[in-house]
Structure 1
Amino acid sequence: MSQNMHGSMGPIGLLRFLGWHRRYLIAFEEALQNADRLLRPEAETLISVPYWRWVDPFPEWLQEFLPFPNPRTGGPVPPRTLSGSELKPSSSDIHFIINSFEQHLPGFNVDGYTKFTYGLEGFGRKSDNSRLPAHNQIHAWVGGIMNDTSYSPSDPVFWLHHAEVDRLWHIWQKQHPDLHPALTGNDSIMDPWTESYNQLGSITMLGYSYQSESL
């Protein structure tokens, strides 16, 4: 799988954004599991891609996930790092964004899939809640190669981030099972794969689940 595939073929700003990235996550997890089988042939369970819950305070999530101390957390000043013109948010900033996202989620639901996906993704048309492009802002906050769509999948955080995007989409799908994007013919194919959007619409049918289905 070419790392540049995400930049050159990924459907940034399109209605198939969520479905395409769901298929991308599946391909990545399958590659991890193939490697896991080689390393641990006797294992009863295989590795899976974790998700990063944005609602968790950042320092606590970081200290739990990383096996070594981080000098940027635990001090009197909220941890901020420069990434171009962007600032990495403090835990209070993340709480504000996530709480606002939760409060406005019903607004996305009322206006259907199009408004939901543009609001969550942050590309393309602006929704009434355009202050909350959670997907794009996380890429900007992390910085580095996460700011480059051609190379962002090289950052492990990319997969944790997009697993959470996929989890939020799953939650929204359960609430609105009859709302789908108007994708037909070739537009519905998740190129470079052969599956259509409709074949990727249910994680239950795809054989995986999330530990938590709450915001």
Structure 2
Amino acid sequence: MYTRKNQRDLTRTEKKRLVSALLELKRSGRYDEFVTLHGRHYVTDDEEGPRASHMTPSFFPWHRRFLLEFERALRAVDPGVSVPYWDWTTDNSPASSLWAEDFLGGTGRAGDGKVMTGAFAHANGNWNIRARVGDGSFLTRNLGRPSDPVSLPTRQDVAKALSDPLYDAGPWNSTVTRGFRNKIEGWGSGGTATTYNHNRVHRWVGGVMLGATSPNDPVFWLHHAFMDLLWDRWQRAHPDSGYLPRRKLPASDPQHGRVFSLHEPMPPWDVTPAQLLDHGRVYRYA
């Protein structure tokens, strides 16, 4: 078992090793495979087909498996590396340590959002954006969106979501107003008002984090490690609650065949949410 640490507690050496492992995954082409996979499985309410990763109850287990697969690839490069988490309720400024030159680099320049600092800056020649939606071969960010400011979620925002003992509810999509899942994932009516928690963080970072190929920005993994930690906290706070729906939805339900119940295998791994409820044998959070 290994430990996922708060990114602010990483030593200089740990940061260097993580950046090196990320760059090696990128060189090998493996990193872009993860970006493509995420883009392929980003299916909205209005699109046809199964919805395993977003706007759906399996948001948490799907991303837990996605992170685990990515972490295994990282640890194959360097067994001493794990994915740290970014607690954006505390490290909530463009001046926070994760945006430093020696770690993820900072915000993008005015005009095109091109990131100019850190190991992932395009000028260094190691981080070409290949798997993408739209144009642009370089990493982009617009931290805080100065021209139309957006703030990161607060501890109170997270606490409100964590206090809900219900995991999720019908109609099992972006419009749900009850339950922990959508209060953290952060969709509003019809999937358009992306203003809460997880979604608000994507908006705050901006650039490539706004699209379905958001893992092009390495901060994606730190953000979703925190999502995973919050799911863990919710489970501990509500031991008598659990993943919903527990049973396959009936054929009469509009979400039949699109939403994954507790024991239905999720693509692309053929693993069920039930198999991903507990991470305790694999990793822990510091």
**What's the TM-score once normalised by structure 2's chain length?**
0.56
Shift of 1:195: 1.3
- 1:108 match: 164
Shift of 1:106: 5.4
Whether the 8 Å contact between 1:101 and 1:132 is mirrored in structure 2 is no
- 2:215 match: 153
After superposition, the Cα gap between the structure-2 partners of 1:155 and 1:71, relative to the gap in structure 1 and judged at 3 Å, is: closer
- Give 1:121's match in structure 2, choosing from 169, 185, 191: 185
Q: What CA distance in whole angstroms lies between the structure 2 residues aligned with 1:175 and 1:26?
A: 23
Whether the 8 Å contact between 2:265 and 2:272 is mirrored in structure 1 is yes
Whether the 8 Å contact between 1:121 and 1:134 is mirrored in structure 2 is yes
| Counterparts of residues 5-44 of structure 1 (less than 5 Å) | 5-10=37-42, 11-37=53-79
Q: What CA distance in whole angstroms lies between the structure 1 residues aligned with 2:87 and 2:234?
A: 16
Q: What CA distance in whole angstroms lies between the structure 2 residues aligned with 1:60 and 1:51?
A: 16
- 1:180 and 2:180 correspond: no
Q: What CA distance in whole angstroms lies between the structure 2 residues aligned with 1:162 and 1:82?
A: 21
After superposition, the Cα gap between the structure-2 partners of 1:103 and 1:9, relative to the gap in structure 1 and judged at 3 Å, is: closer
Shift of 1:194: 1.8
Aligned residues: CA RMSD: 3.1
Shift of 1:60: 8.2
Shift of 1:53: 0.7
- 2:84 match: 50
After superposition, the Cα gap between the structure-2 partners of 1:13 and 1:59, relative to the gap in structure 1 and judged at 3 Å, is: closer
After superposition, the Cα gap between the structure-2 partners of 1:121 and 1:86, relative to the gap in structure 1 and judged at 3 Å, is: farther
- Per-residue CA deviation, residues 78-107 of structure 1 (Å, 9 max, x unaligned), is x96538x85343xxxx4xx32322442354
Q: What CA distance in whole angstroms lies between the structure 1 residues aligned with 2:144 and 2:92?
A: 13
Contiguous gaps of at least 5 residues in structure 2: 1-32, 43-52, 108-141, 169-178, 249-256
Q: What CA distance in whole angstroms lies between the structure 1 residues aligned with 2:161 and 2:202?
A: 21
- Per-residue CA deviation, residues 119-168 of structure 1 (Å, 9 max, x unaligned), is 10023668xxx99620000001100110001x101110100000000000
- 1:99 and 2:163 correspond: no
Whether the 8 Å contact between 2:34 and 2:70 is mirrored in structure 1 is no
| Counterparts of residues 61-210 of structure 1 (less than 5 Å) | 62-63=96-97, 66-67=100-101, 81-82=144-145, 87-89=149-151, 94=152, 97-105=153-161, 107-109=163-165, 112-114=166-168, 115-123=179-187, 133-149=196-212, 151-178=213-240, 179-184=242-247, 187=260, 188-205=264-281, 207-210=282-285
Structure (1/2) with the larger helix percentage? 1
After superposition, the Cα gap between the structure-2 partners of 1:68 and 1:153, relative to the gap in structure 1 and judged at 3 Å, is: closer
Shift of 1:181: 1.2
Say which SS state the counterpart of residue 209 (structure 1) adopts: strand
Q: State the identity %.
A: 32
Q: What CA distance in whole angstroms lies between the structure 2 residues aligned with 1:53 and 1:100?
A: 13
Say which SS state the counterpart of residue 162 (structure 1) adopts: helix
Shift of 1:55: 2.1
